[in-house]
Amino acid sequence: MQHADILIIGGGLTGLSLNYFLKDENLDIVIVEARDRLGGRIHTVGNGHEAPVEMGATWFGPAHTKLKSLLDELNIETFKQKLGEKAIYEPSSMSPHQLVQLPPNQESSFRVKGGTISLIRELSKFMNDDHLYLSCPVQKIEKKKERLIVTADLEIFDVEMVVSTLPPKLLSDSIQLKPLPSEELAETMANTHTWMGESIKIGLTFSEPFWRADDLSGTIFSNVGPIPELYDHSNFEEHKFALKGFLNGSYFSVSKEERKQMVLAQLRKYYGDKTDQFIHYHEMVWANERFTYAPYDRHVLPHQNNGHAMYQKPLWEGSFFIAGAETSETSPGYMDGAVHSAQSVADQIKKSFNHLQKK
Ligand SMILES: Cc1cc2nc3c(=O)[nH]c(=O)nc-3n(C[C@H](O)[C@H](O)[C@H](O)COP(=O)(O)OP(=O)(O)OC[C@H]3O[C@@H](n4cnc5c(N)ncnc54)[C@H](O)[C@@H]3O)c2cc1C
């Protein structure tokens, strides 16, 4: 049995930011992560020789100030998403695609130099390696008198506080809580939307950005699909090139090869044979990721129950927090929400430990 002050379930942005915000508190913190990697819904792929491709979180906007402050604090550079002046637009299957002028003065969105994974890498430097348990899904959290007993695949932990950073729907489906949460909370968690849980990301790397020619664009909007949106995804330094976008979520059920062929067929309509110069095809079907997505019993709207009041205070006499991007009142579901959630829980934990020390 391992002992700690605080156990954080999940090594995504919320979990690692929380560990960072508590770094000066002299607390014994462990992070228990189900996957064999850190980052959760932040997942940048590539072999280093090509443009890093985001399979998860990519962009932030001017309103995401908490995330931006964290990036600045960690000296991580950011850059504007390249849109170009024109986009390829495919209005319907009855009409051919066309090159349209994008409206001027659009609000920019920003990306992270080196990929969003840079943020995860920097945050993970504030962790003690022997306090990190990878490939270790938590199964049960049990309150026993003053302590919490956490049962995971590889280990059992005896801790003072637990912070779950799982999307609440996943928490309700995959981790047994003892005592059970109230009916109202159980119902809210089961119907809390997991942001982007249904999405499919696709990306292709290239050695040349041929789409930057006058009569082309790397920005695509299509009502025909299967790719509804695609963007220039070249690296910050502008020497490794890629296109990246979304695939209609309903294509989760076909094989990877079938999806790839459909993606290439759509891109050939716009770019012809140049499409086939791609170096690598990357994709991620998030609905198949059991450590992110759990199917709902009934229809749930985007952002439903995100930032719910019940997530703002801990359970079990202050010892169990339900955190994570979806629980934040500000920017729920987004990276900015994850950092807000981590800050809110860190503030509450600091208060609680200061109070205990004064007793
Ligand atoms: C395709 C996609 C695109 C997105 N695009 C953007 C974007 O452009 N901009 C933006 O701001 N946000 C975007 N997001 C959302 C963003 O990724 C999230 O807001 C953020 O990463 C959430 O961080 P988190 O730590 O709260 O949750 P997560 O990243 O989901 O972390 C939870 C962690 O818990 C782990 N876990 C799960 N079950 C267990 C268990 N039983 N035991 C232990 N560990 C467990 C998971 O493996 C994971 O690492 C996107 C998400 C996706 C999927």
pLDDT of residue 353: 82
Mean pLDDT of 287-314: 96
Q: Are 272 and 128 found together in one domain?
A: no
Measured in angstroms, how far is the CA atom of residue 95 from the centroid of ligand 1?
A: 38
| CATH number for the domain harbouring residue 317 | 3.50.50.60
Band (pLDDT 50/70/90 cuts) for residue 107 is confident
Q: Which residue has the tokens 């969105």?
A: 109
CB within 8 Å of 145: residues ≥ 6 apart: none
Mean pLDDT of 324-346: 98
What number of residues does the chain have? Answer: 359
Q: Are 65 and 95 found together in one domain?
A: yes
Q: Are 202 and 284 found together in one domain?
A: yes
Distance CA 261, CA 331 (A): 36
Which range of residues forms the domain containing residue 349? 1-41+116-196+290-359
Distance CA 11, CA 323 (A): 12
pLDDT of residue 359: 54
Domain boundary among the residues 288, 318, 348 is at 288
> What tokens does 283 get?
């994709």
**Helix (H) / strand (E) containing 98:** strand 98-101
- Give the percent of the chain with pLDDT over 70: 98
> What are the backbone dihedrals phi and psi of residue 260, each rounded to the nearest 5 degrees, phi first?
-60, -45
Measured in angstroms, how far is the CA atom of residue 3 from the centroid of ligand 1?
A: 27
Q: What is the DSSP string of 211-270?
A: GGSTT--S-EEESS-S--EEEE---TTSSSEEEEEEE-GGGGGS-HHHHHHHHHHHHHHH
Mean pLDDT of 306-332: 97
Mean pLDDT of 172-179: 97
> What tokens does 145 get?
């008198």
List pocket residues of ligand 1, CB cut-off 6 Å. Answer: 9-15, 32-35, 40-42, 56-60, 137-138, 165-167, 170, 174-175, 195-196, 199, 201, 286, 291-292, 324-325, 333-335, 337-338
**Helix (H) / strand (E) containing 120:** helix 117-124
Q: Are 243 and 331 found together in one domain?
A: no
- Could you tell me if 36 and 181 are in contact, meaning their C-beta atoms sit under 8 angstroms apart? no
- Looking at per-residue pLDDT, the higher value among 264 and 48 belongs to 264
**Best probe residue, ligand 1, of 41, 288, 289, 322 (max atoms within 8 Å of C-beta):** 41
